[in-house]
Every structure is written in C-alpha cells, then in structure tokens.
A and B are shown apart, each in its own frame.
Chain A
Amino acid sequence: MIKLIAKRFLSAVPSLIGVIIVTFVISHTLPGDPAAYFAGPSATAESIAETKARLGLDQPLPAQFVTYVGDLVQGDLGRSFNSGQPVLTDLVRRLPASFELTLYALLFAIVVAVPLGLWAAVNPGSWIDHLCRGTVTAAAAFPSFFTALVLIFVFYYKLGWAPSPIGRLAIYFPVPPTVTGFFTIDALIAGDVGTARAALGQLVLPAISLGLFALAPLARMTRASMIGVLGSEFITTARAEGLPRRKILWTYGFRNALLPVVNILGMIFSFLLGANVLIEQVFGWPGIGTYAVEAVLTSDYAAIQGFVVMMAVLYILLNLGVDILNMIVDPRVRYDD
C-alpha cells in the first residue's frame, strides 16, 4: 500500500512540472501589462519602466522562469499585486472558505440527488422518473450565477428569510478562532452556537446555488447504477428466493449501486471547487474563486500561477484519496504494478 502511494505520487510529478510550465507561459503571454496597470493614473513611460523594474518584469522570460521555479521550490509562490500579500498566505486563508462552501454544496447535492436517483430507478419510466430527469436538467441548465441571483432575490430580498449575502459571516458576529478554518465547526468548538448558526445561515443560499449544479451527475449516476444493479443476476436470484422487497432494494441493491457514486464524488468535489468562481462573486464569498477571477482580470501573474498550481496539487491529492478509498471499500479494485 505504502509503495503504491509513493508510486502514485511519483507519477504526479511530470503533470506538476507540466502545469507549472504551462501556467507560467500562459499567464505571461496574456495580454496585459501589470506594470502599466499599477503605475496607474498619470503614469508616464518612465514611471511604468520603473514599476516594471520593481516588479522584476523587465527581465527576459527565461530568467523570470528560473527565479519563479527557485522560489517555488522554497514554497514561495510570489506576491500578489492585488492583495499585496504573499500568494501562499492568500490561498491558505481563502481555501477553507471555498472548501466549506463546496462541502456543504456537495452535502446538499447528495441529500437531494441520491434519493431522487434511487426513487427514479425503482420506478423507471414513471412520472417520478420524469420529474427526476426534469429537475436535474433544469438545475444544470441555468447558469449558477443566475440561480444565485434568483435565490437572493426571492429568499433575501422578497421574503427576508435568508441573511444578507455579504460573505461568510454577517458583520456583527465575531470571527471564531481558527481551528479547522470552517466557521460552522470552529464556532461550535468555541462553544458559540449563535455564530455557528449565523455561519450556517450564510452558507445556505450559496451552497444550494452551487449544489444544484452537481445534482445532474449525481442523480443520473445513482439512477443508472441502481437500474444496472437491479437488473443483475444476484437480484433476480434474490427475487426468486422470495426475499422481501425492502431487503432486496436496500441490502443488496442500494449498497452495490452506491459504489460508483462514491467513486465520482471526488471528481464532483473538484468540479464544484472550480464552479465556485461565479457563486463566490455573487455572495461576496472570500474564497479562492473570487481570488482567481480578480487575478485574471488584472494579469496578476503570481496569483494566477499560485492558484493553478494549488488546484493541480489538490486534484492530484483528491484522485489519490479516491483511489485509496476505492481499494478499501471494494476489494475487487486493484491497481497493478
């Protein structure tokens, strides 16, 4: 097992190197001159040249790349122009916000999509099946930022049920001391139920807007997998043996059908982490999505590179985690040497 994990890590190294080179080249060939941008109003050719020199952008590209890789090896992702902070600091501070939102979105998606998919699979072709298909298609068809704005309009503006879409915590609540970085959990650890509730309240609308996006793959996967399982020989045997319907569905059907669903959860999680970008903009969520958008808009090289490298590392770790989990859950899965 240890050997396998080490091997998987090693095989990730070439992809990482590739990611680093590609992001460096792409971000530096993006149109846009950060020096001209930051020299700001009343800039002159001289002040831009001076700003360029300060930012190290007057060096030839290969030299900039060598400096960049050298820093990267030491864990230095550079400094963001936008926030004025080291990129690593920014990412570490913002990542929990995005993670928390994504996890709650995933939770919402699972709670809605899995029963929906199962229900549809048990009654294929019925009105329930059509409802399932219709719901998930509609949920996936609307752009997430649009759904988000509609939710804000209805539940915050019109009905006043949801708290203000102003980020992770309404202004009057204290930020809980950081343990996990998840406000809902940290507040509970600190014994502050009021803040935990408030943080959860802030999460509801963005998590639903984001989670709607994941309904389609989850519900479809559950449905397809369950139909497949229900049509397989061991279920037919169980039926022939006259086992109760409940036992067939839950003990034999559901458990087996869930395996591929668990399998794609990792993929859906990373996909949602990426889809965060627009949701975060709408809800003023201080996560990595907002960060990345702003970085791209201002040609903030260090921030773009840092974001992409971090995402690449996250994907690699996530896939590794899912593979290992798979081997534990399903003894049939083996990765050959």
Chain B
Amino acid sequence: MTISATIKTLGLSALIASSAALPAVAQSREDVIIAVGEQGPNSLDTQTPTSNDYTRLVALHVYDRLVKHGVKTLEDGTLVYDKTEVLPELATSWDVSEDGTELTFHLREDATFHDGSPVEAKDVKWSFDRAVEAGGFPLIQMGAGSMTEPDQFEALDTHTFRITVPDGNKLALPDLTTPIPIVINSDLALEHATDDDPWATEWLANNTAGGGAYDVVRWTPGNEIVFSRFDDWKNGDLPAMKTVVYRQIASAGTRRALLESGDADVSVGLPPKDFAELADSDEVKVIGVPKQSAIVNLEMNVNMPPFDNPKVREAMAYAIPYEAIMSDAFYGRAAPMFGAEPGSEYDVAWPVPSPYHTDLDKAKELLTEAGYPDGFESTIYLDLSRATTREPMALLIQQNLAKIGVDVTVEKVPGSNWFSKMLDKSMPMAVTSFHAWLDWPEYHFYWTYYGANNSVFNVASQQDEALDEMIQKARFETDSAAYDQEITGIIDHVMTTLPKIPVAQDFMDVAMQNDIEGYVYWFHTFLDFRTISRAE
C-alpha cells in the first residue's frame, strides 16, 4: 500500500514538473542553443599555463582575434574551415613585408569591447605581451609562429599594430587565428592588476574583459557556462543565437539520451559507437570530419630491444589487424591510414595512408629475418582517459601478435599520468596520437619525430639527424616545388624507418538536432556557436 502510493505520488510530481517546464521551453527555445559535453573550462582566462583545453571555447566566443580563417563547403555539404584563406576579424587589413618578418595590422576603428570602450592597438599589444609572458602552453603556441618576446609587438598608433618575426616564420599569420593571441580590454584588466599579479590573472580567471561576439553571463565551474550575445559586435556577422548554454554531463549515456529526446541541441564527445548509431538514425544528424593533422599510431621505442631493429618494426606493421580496428574500435568513425599501393607517390599532406596492410606470413618472415623466429615478449601502453577506442585497439593488436608468437600485455595508464609516462620515454609499445592546430606536415613532424627538441610526443625516442635536417629545411622552405619534394621525402623516410605505425585518422564528430545549421569544423575542434543557427 505504502510503496505503490509513494511511487504514484513521486511519478505524478515528476509529471507535473516536466509539463510545467514545457511552456517556458516553447517560448524561448528559438534563439537559445543547448549543448552538452563531458568537460568544461576551469577558468575564463585561456592565457595561463594551468588553463585547460576548454578555456579555448571561452576565448573563442568572448575575445576576438586579429584574423580568422575562411570557411569552405565540402562535396557532402559539410562546412570546414579553409586554411588557405585568412580573413579579417578585428584587423580589417594587413601588410606582410616581402621577407615575411614584419606584419602590420590595421584595426577596425569602430570596434568596441563589451563595456563600450574602443578597441585600440595598445590593447592588442598588452594582450600579446601577456600571451608570451604567461609561459606554458600559451607561450608554446605563440612560439609556433616564432613570437616569443614582448618586444616583437608594437602599437604604432591607436589602430595600427605591428609584429616582427625575425625568422620570417610562415606560420606567424595562421598562428594568429588560434584562440591564444586574443584581444583583451587592457584598461579594464589593469584596474584589477596588482603588484604581485601584473597581468590580472586572478581577476581574469573569473571575469571577462573582451569584445567578442558573446559574453559570459553565468559560469559554474564543473557544471555550466552560459553565453549571451554581444549585440554591438562589429567583427563579423551577428550570431543568430542570443543565448548559448553549455552543460557538463559526465555520463555519455545521459548525453545521448538528452540529445535523442530533444532536450539538448548538440552533444560532443560521445563514444564512436554512439556516433555511428546516431549517424544511422534519422532522429538526429552527426557531422564527422577527419581531424586535421591528427593520427593514431602504434608507436615503438626505437632504443629498446627488440624495437631497435627496423625489421621488427616492419614486422609489427604487417601484424596489425587494421580492418578489425577500423570496425571494432572506431566503428567507422575514422579514416584508414594504411593500405596505400606500395611504391606509389605520397600526397604532400599529413597524415597519409601507409603502404602496409595485415599480412601475418610476411610479419613472421620478417621476425625470423630479424632473429626472433619464436617471437618475444613486450607491453603495449595506452592512455586510460581515451580507453574507449584505445583499449579495443590494443586488445586486437595483442590477439594478432599472439598468432606470430609475440606475447604482449596491455597496460593502461591513468590519464593524469599519461604525459609524464610519455616524457619518460619508457614505453616499449604504446598506442599514441597527436593532433595539431596548424595543419602543416612539417609542423606535425616537428612535434612528433623531431629528435632535437625531443618533445613529449616523440614517444618512440626517435633521434635521427638526417630526418631532423629534412624537417628543419621544410619548415623554412620558400620554394614550393622544393617544399613538396621535401615533405614527400620526410614521409617516405618515416614510413620506411617506422618508429610509429600509422593506423587511423579519427573523426571530430558532433551530433545535433536536424534543425541545427551552420556547424563548421575548426582546427581547434571546439564548437563555434557564432555561426550556428536553427532552421525556421
């Protein structure tokens, strides 16, 4: 009696609650967008080393950059950013000196910050100084365009700003489209600066001082961020959505349910299996684009036996069950990076498919030649925070290797420990991945194969002077024919020496309601709500 009565009362109150919410929804849903994802920003200030990845989402909407990339439409109608086209955002025009060492920007004269004060060159100067003084990731990203010192930035007059890049790095201009060199309202920020904190990092972590298309109206760390449109925005087309709500829901199952029932408009970061299933249904649409300059590898430490033997690495390349990984680990939400016609020319791009395919007999033969006819024992490491795809991948590889006598164990490393594990260079085999914001092959190689900087992503511990020289040459090559040849040369080199075996290029997938339009794939992979609208 009591039980059923209780359940009835509770069920009823839930019913009342949901029906009470409906009229409110119907009124305001038109210009509100609700997005759900697993994680969110830990600060409103992206220019500090401890700011997490999601602070770029804030930077993107709240702050403007000098320039942006154009957008192009692919054959299937998908909108993607166009790396070859640089367009005005805060700067209306710019001049680049012949040798590429001086970039002069002319700022939009009527642009204002959210508080109504004009955007001036001194604000740009202060913001860029701040980005390089911050250290950590902001400095690294600025460094990608050879901008590392405050004296490289100069406010010529109120609306003219100059950047000096001594080495003429061609990535300087594209680097300005990333969400790190953003423009902050320096007067407002300086009001909150102290002697101990000259860059107002304390204040900017919890407050905004921008002039972007949106401002933050509510932020509950770990739970929700709400953006509201800045109606006086001059640096682009006024966004269609007045309010953007981004809620963090840790459970992927809940995020999917919210999307399928129509309570959420957009969901990011679902497991590939869910994206594959949603893509097959008509209820919602899934837009997936292979992440630019992104690759998932099986990587081997070239200093640790038996992987110091190139023949063993080649054997591994023939032992990976590529097709099974594509279907059972990625559920088709990735582009194959294997099975190219051996001996054919490589494209001037990265990643490109490797000339390897699954051939266990050949793998066995190579192992015998290398002196391991009975196989060996080893360990494959993977990043636990990406276990959804990496774990099945490692297990499938483990099964196949067992068939040629190679006995591997799978070791899962907690996400918080993965970076230090990579830094250690102590993993004999690892499922690794890399994704670059700047889509230039030599930039990708600089972070992943370049021995001289031996970055954290050089898990293979590759130290190859010939390769380093090729990479360095390509970075500063001015002749385009020579450049093409150098890139294909590097690709040929890494495909032969094989410190990393390319497997897949994973998709950046976003699931959304059918009436959501204007989603653009960006190199940073974050949703840009400025272009999103709802069909009438």
What is A's interface to B at a CB cutoff of 8 Å? Answer: 30-34, 36-45, 47-48, 50-51, 54-55, 80-85, 90, 93-94, 108, 111-112, 115-116, 145, 149, 152-153, 155-157, 160-167, 170-173, 194, 197-198, 200-202, 204-205, 208, 280-284, 286, 290-291, 293-294, 297-299
Contact = CB atoms under 8 A, between A and B. Distances in A.
A109 to B, nearest CB: 11
B21 A85 contact: no
A32 B420 CA distance: 7
Contacts of A81: 42, 50
B455 interface: yes
Contacts of B50: 38, 51, 54-55, 81, 84
Contact of B420 (A33, A55, A293): A33
Most buried by A among B51, B416, B419, B423: B416
B535 interface: no
B36 A47 contact: no
A76 to B, nearest CB: 15
Contacts of A293: 250
28 contacts: A41-B435, A42-B455, A50-B136, A82-B221, A82-B222, A84-B221, A108-B10, A112-B6, A149-B253, A157-B257, A160-B18, A162-B14, A164-B263, A165-B249, A165-B257, A166-B263, A170-B263, A173-B21, A194-B20, A197-B13, A197-B20, A198-B17, A283-B251, A284-B249, A284-B251, A286-B224, A297-B414, A299-B416
A161 B14 CA distance: 6
Nearest to B423: A36
Contacts of B466: none
Interface of B: 2-3, 6, 10-11, 13-18, 20-21, 24-25, 28, 32, 34, 36, 42-43, 49-53, 135-137, 139-141, 144, 205-206, 220-224, 245, 247-251, 253-254, 257-258, 260-261, 263-264, 385, 413-417, 419-420, 423, 435, 447, 453, 455-457
A33 to B, nearest CB: 4
Given A42-B144, A83-B221, 7 more contacts: A40-B52, A84-B221, A166-B258, A171-B245, A197-B20, A201-B16, A297-B385
Contact of A51 (B49, B385, B415): B49
Contacts of A31: 413-414, 416-417
Given A42-B137, A48-B423, A294-B222, A108 B253 contact: no
A162 B136 CA distance: 45
A112 B260 CA distance: 33
A40 B137 contact: yes
B455 A155 contact: no
A47 B25 CA distance: 47
A153 to B, nearest CB: 7
Most buried by B among A43, A160, A280, A299: A43
B243 to A, nearest CB: 9
A170 B261 CA distance: 14
Contact of A172 (B25, B251, B414, B455): B25
B222 A201 contact: no
A202 B17 CA distance: 8
Contacts of B52: 38, 40, 82
A94 B20 CA distance: 26
Given A157-B260, A161-B15, A208 B10 contact: yes
A79 to B, nearest CB: 9
Contact of A83 (B42, B135, B251): B42
A204 B221 contact: no
A152 B257 CA distance: 8
A172 B36 CA distance: 15
A200 B18 CA distance: 10
B250 A284 contact: yes
Contacts of A85: 206, 221
A81 B247 CA distance: 19
A115 B5 CA distance: 12
Given A286-B220, A286-B222, A172 B18 contact: no
Given A172-B24, A281-B250, A197 B257 contact: no
Q: Please list the 4 inter-chain residue pairs (A to B) with the smallest Cβ-Cβ separation, ordered nearest first.
A: A201-B17, A32-B416, A36-B419, A83-B221
B312 to A, nearest CB: 28
Contacts of A112: 2-3, 6
B320 to A, nearest CB: 25
